[in-house]
Structure 1
Amino acid sequence: MPIDLYYMPMSAPCRSVMLTAKALGVELNLKMLNLPAGEHLKPEFVAINPQHCIPTLVDGNLKLWESRAICTYLVNKYGKDDSLYPSDPQTRALVDRLLYFDMGTLYHRFGEYVYPVMFFGQEKLEPAKLEKLHEALGWLDGILAGHDWAAGKSITVADFVLVASVSSFEVCGIDLSKHRNVTTWLARCKAGLRGYNEANAPGVKDLARMTEVKLAGK
């Protein structure tokens, strides 16, 4: 049976799932939802996911949302080995820490900074919230020091999740240049992650176009 993914290309969480699937060689049956048009509120989608959020994965009788849970599920079920989500408890703990850091701190602070202007009618960006985002980026910069990938010497799901976020920051005008390890790692991801140009780049371009309209002069 096909694996359905309900998604929107601009969404960083959706793109992290798509990057994970590309790394695994898993084909997803992509079902785009237009959130501004309210397609996620249609009864047929709410029947699948009562929280009506994306990404949502349907794999047989499993209906799963929350992007980071989807990423780890795909590796656990379809990975040929455990390299993308290591089974060693200490290494897995480092990966999990980064997934939670992205969800609860890094991407959360980005959303607090840009989403009020992009989606909720706030007139101006708040400099104090940008400072909080840069604080989180500074922590990520420290995490990345001394190794090529987020959790160490090898690519893991943490890289897929974090690059979907950080590439979004870049096109939304966040100056990453003060975070040298972040910029070096981002360039490495763009060049070295399987399927990056197919799974992440198009959605980032869509987000960049929206940014030009929504955040210009803010």
Structure 2
Amino acid sequence: MNRNPFCRVCYQIINMVIKLYGVDLSPPVRAAMMAFEIFNVPFEKIEVNLVANEHKTPEYLKKNPLHSVPVLEDGDFILHDSHAILAYLADVYGKDDSWYPKDVKKRALVNQKLFFDTSILFPRLRNVTYSIVMEGKKTIEQKLLDDIEQAYGFFEAFLSQTTYLAGDHVTIADVAALANMTTLENLLPIDEKKYPKITAWLTKGKNTPYCKKRNEPGANQLDEIVKKAIS
């Protein structure tokens, strides 16, 4: 049930500010931060140094046995996985249900694209960035780039049917995908002639205030690390 602005303020005062554990390099963390911005929810960002294995400490594993980021801590409620976090924030803090519809069929379409993001976009991105950032790899295999190209084809097909991923209105599925696509395009530039729908969608997304504030800095930082590693 959505809370009105007064109730949201009361809730935040009583339960203190929500904590978000993560690092800006991570696209899923950036997606969560964009959602906090969209729904105007104050949060405390707690940096988790993945290189130093801070995500594998006993304290962190109690919050998330999968030792992944991000993790949301809302009072005594702990939630990991960026897609679950996006849905939670939309349901609790959204002023309406446009970002995550209550209508069963509309919500199913959003969920479908969230699953596309978590099963196709993010794994194909992580296959490249994890090996470079965490394992020190200096090259990108052509097969991994071919996998990304295939994902672009899927994405273009979706956008050929609707303006946004799950319909003609932006939803949390677009937010999740935006965080990944702004890094994927740095790994494999998007041919605007081949993928005009993606190009238009990405341009709109990158120009939003929430993307510029919460996604762009981390995406640029990760791009610099990758380019330096493979140069």
Q: Would the TM-score normalized by the shorter structure come out above 0.5? A: yes
Task: Give per-residue Cα distances to partners, 1:113-136, cap 9 Å, x unaligned.
Answer: 443344324453221221121111
Which of 205, 217, 220 matches 1:189?
205
Matches within 5 A, 1:125-136: 125-136=140-151
Q: Does the alignment pair 1:176 with 2:205? A: no
Displacement after TM superposition at 1:208 (Å): 1.4
Aligned length: 214
Which of 107, 110, 114 matches 1:99?
114
Task: Give per-residue Cα distances to partners, 1:42-83, cap 9 Å, x unaligned.
Answer: 333223223222100000111110110010011111111111
Is contact 1:3–1:59 with CA below 8 Å preserved after alignment?
Answer: yes
Residue aligned with 2:63, SS = coil
Q: Does the alignment pair 1:207 with 2:227? A: no
Displacement after TM superposition at 1:111 (Å): 2.0
Query: Where does residue 58 of structure 2 map in the other structure?
Result: 43
Structure 1 unaligned blocks of 5 or more:
none
Q: Give distance in 2, aligned partners of 1:186 and 1:68.
A: 19
Displacement after TM superposition at 1:189 (Å): 0.6
Query: Where does residue 175 of structure 2 map in the other structure?
Result: 160
Residue identity in the other structure for 1:44 = E
Residue identity in the other structure for 1:150 = L
In structure 2, relative to structure 1, the CA distance for the partners of 1:18 and 1:114 (3 Å cut) is: closer
Task: Give per-residue Cα distances to partners, 1:126-165, cap 9 Å, x unaligned.
Answer: 2122112111110101101254322222110011100000
Residue identity in the other structure for 1:180 = P
Task: Give per-residue Cα distances to partners, 1:183-208, cap 9 Å, x unaligned.
Answer: 110001112x3421111011111111
RMSD: 1.6
Is contact 1:114–1:125 with CA below 8 Å preserved after alignment?
Answer: no
Residue aligned with 1:213, SS = helix
Q: Give distance in 2, aligned partners of 1:18 and 1:132.
A: 27
Structure 2 unaligned blocks of 5 or more:
1-15
Is contact 1:105–1:136 with CA below 8 Å preserved after alignment?
Answer: yes
Query: Where does residue 81 of structure 2 map in the other structure?
Result: 66
Q: Give distance in 2, aligned partners of 1:61 and 1:148.
A: 39
Residue identity in the other structure for 1:37 = A
Task: Give per-residue Cα distances to partners, 1:91-128, cap 9 Å, x unaligned.
Answer: 11111111101111122122224433443244532212
In structure 2, relative to structure 1, the CA distance for the partners of 1:105 and 1:154 (3 Å cut) is: same
Q: Does the alignment pair 1:6 with 2:28? A: no
Identity of aligned residues (%): 33
Which of 82, 99, 119 matches 1:84?
99
Which of 209, 213, 216 matches 1:198?
213
